[in-house]
Amino acid sequence: MSTSATVNAVKVLADPTAYTNNKRLHAALRQLRASNPVAWVDHSPYHPFWAITRHADIVAIERDNDLFISAPRPLLTPAEADDLRRAQEEAGTGMRTLVQMDDPHHRKVRAIGANWFRPAAMRNLKVHVDHLAKRYVDKMREIGPECDFVTDIAVDFPLYVILSLLGLPQSDFPRMRMLTQEMFGRDDAEYRRGQEPETVLAVMQEFLNYFATLTASRRRKPTGDLASAIANGRIDGQPLPDIDTASYYVIIAAAGHDTTKDAISGGLHALIENPDELERLKQDIALMPTAVEEMIRWTTPVKEFMRTATADTTVRGVDIAEGESVYLAYVSGNRDEEVFDDPFRFDLGRDPNKHLAFGHGVHFCLGAALARMEIGSLYRELLPRLESIELTGEPELAATTFVGGLKHLPIRYSLK
């Protein structure tokens, strides 16, 4: 179990740059799934953790929310920043989003915004999303025959959808885009504001300050948008604490567009790299639902979440002590040979597709239906108009250990 190959594979999980090289990343994850699916990782700059790389183990942990809790370590962050964040949370001043909460409080807070993402709400929103999809494909045609698909199209389309749903003014959209890139891009030289823990937390604080002002405004004068629903949400008859309200906005605004951007842009890259599948989808647009799921599996924008054991337990015969953390490697589970036939083949008709990209259990992504609709709307508009497409340069992936995907996708194309 402790061969040099396995030791090197384990190191990849503590290296944000590994996510800029899919070949290196997936070779390491394949090695871990085969020889050490519950692997101890003790590498600077992180506190130690157990890496869980098999689909079945990830699902089992996600289902047991009494034994494995989100608090106090929901994400993989450098030890110094992690310690500072915990101190802020204990003082009641740090961000506390849905991903950092456990039931029963998590379920009550989640319910405040849940109706905005249910099927009925999605049906009402679809006309607007389809209109925006057409606008951005029209933009592709106007700026063509070349563009950077990520920066010119993929990031702004879902950004516009979710921030419009929240009710933010368009003049603030660029600021939200920048803050999201800085928050999720703390490991990437192009995106980060700085690497010091205080700088990373300053980005969070800027988010919180912005949304604290929004909360006060919507409480004085509700406007019928999602921001008003969150600002005026109540639990057991009491309003949400200001820190929870502001944190709710952050997870909706940031995760609500950046992950979709990664699936949209990574999906197009996969279509370019697999021209037979591109033609298959163009000829049979009815494949779109399974195509969307495959794009999401293929890209896995959220690479991991973490849980902490509340008691001594075992996973796949490995002892895990109370208080130790487990790293749920979604990006590995979505290539698990025990679950997916030929998992390294991009198959737009894959069915079933039990991917973990939206998580599992009580923390299943609140905005999953919206993300699926956005991806489908854009490709239903783009593909019938697409006459040709090719890369004009090397795609670039972001360095990350949490949320990430393509930063740049330079393409040449012809549109009707």
Structure token digits, residue 120: 């009925």
More confident residue, 158 or 87: 158
Give me the pLDDT at residue 126, please.
Answer: 97
The answer to which of 196-205, 259-268, 307-316, 398-407 has the lowest mean pLDDT is: 196-205
Confidence of residue 2 (pLDDT cuts 50, 70, 90): low
More confident residue, 91 or 388: 388
Measured from the Cβ of residue 200, the count of other Cβ atoms closer than 10 Å reads 23
- Residues 386, 391, 392, 397, CA torsion sign: positive
CB 350 within 8 A of CB 73: no
Confidence of residue 88 (pLDDT cuts 50, 70, 90): confident
**Best CA proximity match to 20, nearest among 334, 344, 395:** 395
Number of domains in the chain: 1
Q: Please write the tens of the pLDDT for every residue from 19-45.
A: 999 999 999 999 999 999 999 999 999
Which of 119-128, 201-210, 258-267 has the largest mean confidence?
258-267
Measured from the Cβ of residue 384, the count of other Cβ atoms closer than 10 Å reads 12
216-231 b/e (C-beta count within 10 Å ≥ 16 → b): eebeeeeeebbbbbbb
Contacts of 371 (CB under 8 A, 6+ apart): 158, 259, 260, 263, 296, 358, 365
Give me the pLDDT at residue 5, please.
Answer: 66
Distance (Å, rounded) from C-alpha 143 to C-alpha 152? Answer: 9
Give me the pLDDT at residue 4, please.
Answer: 66
CB 333 within 8 A of CB 297: no
Distance (Å, rounded) from C-alpha 405 to C-alpha 389? Answer: 20
What CATH number is given to the structural domain containing 331? 1.10.630.10
Give me the pLDDT at residue 3, please.
Answer: 65
Q: Which residue range(s) make up the domain with 360?
A: 4-415
Report DSSP letters for 41-93, one per residue.
E--TTS--EEEE--HHHHHHHHH-TTTEESTT--S---HHHHHHHHHHHHTT-
